[in-house]
Amino acid sequence: MSAPVLQIIIGSTRPGRIGPVMAAWFAERARQQGGFDVEVLDVADFALPVFDEPHHPKSRNYTQPHTKAWSAAVDRGDAVVFVHPEYNHSVNGALKNAIDFLHGEWAHKPVSFVSYGGASGGLRAVQALKPVVSALRMYPTAAAVALAGPQRQIIDGAFVPTPEQNSAADALLDELGALTAAVSPLLDAARAA
Ligand SMILES: Cc1cc2nc3c(=O)[nH]c(=O)nc-3n(C[C@H](O)[C@H](O)[C@H](O)COP(=O)(O)O)c2cc1C
């Protein structure tokens, strides 16, 4: 049996963002953990405008090529980790917009968060995302990684973690792996329906 696909989704899109650097660290950690087939998805690559579909995403009656591409990409995943900042004490708009574009593609997937920001480590964005992912029938882990001021740890374009940050990433991955196995019958049933 092949390993479940973990999609690590980079949620920030601005020029100069640190999202890709943070995602590269976490993706490497996930590959070392070995429980998942790891894929990095970058919201910026899909050039999503502000939500512009006429129908509720529940119908999957998509009219725009960008929505169809985003839908096909997210469909491939069995579990999700959002790597995302905190903007104005909440989730950044580009990520919320990207989530809103889809519906059933998210359902019955375990989800976790690698957040970053100032002293908060992006935790207020995580708390803002939890009701959103619950509405979409995703299953959030309790374990998460919150990085306070990670810019200080970016050296020559790579994030240099502390041992504690690596341990937090491993704990997240362990919980996410167990949850992915536990809920896979629900995801399989939804895909077969
Ligand atoms: C519009 C905006 C709002 C921000 N608001 C917060 C905030 O509320 N809390 C926080 O900790 N950091 C905040 N920051 C700082 C970001 O956490 C920091 O710039 C981070 O690098 C942004 O992620 P990105 O580089 O992936 O875009 C904000 C940054 C921007 C651009």
Distance (angstroms) between ligand 1 centre and the Cα of 153 equals 16
Domain range summary for the chain, segments of one domain joined by +: 5-192
Q: Is the CB of 114 under 6 A from ligand 1?
A: no
**Phi, psi at residue 168, to the nearest 5°?**
-65, -40
**Torsion over CA of 61, 96, 5 and 192, rounded to 10 degrees?**
-30
Which position has the token pair 């995801």?
187
**CATH number of the 5-192 domain:** 3.40.50.360
- Which residue's CA is the closest to the ligand 1 atom numbered 28? 87
Q: Is the CB of 18 under 6 A from ligand 1?
A: yes
Here the tokens at position 162 are 């502390």
Which of 12, 14, 87, 88, when mutated, tests ligand 1's pocket best, judged by the most ligand atoms within 8 Å of its CB? 87
- Using DSSP's 3-state secondary structure scheme, residue 89 falls into coil
Neighbour count for residue 62 (Cβ, 10 Å): 18
Atom of ligand 1 nearest to the CA of 118: 11
pLDDT at 167: 98
How many CA atoms does the CB half-sphere of 189 hold within 13 Å?
5
The residues of the chain scoring below 70 in pLDDT are none
Quote the DSSP letter at residue 3.
P
d(CA 56, CA 79): 23
Here the tokens at position 87 are 């903007």
Nearest Cα to 122, choosing from 92, 156, 154?
A: 92
pLDDT tens digits along 112-138: 999 999 999 999 999 999 999 999 999
Beta bridge partners of 81: 8, 112
- The whole-chain average pLDDT of the chain stands at 98
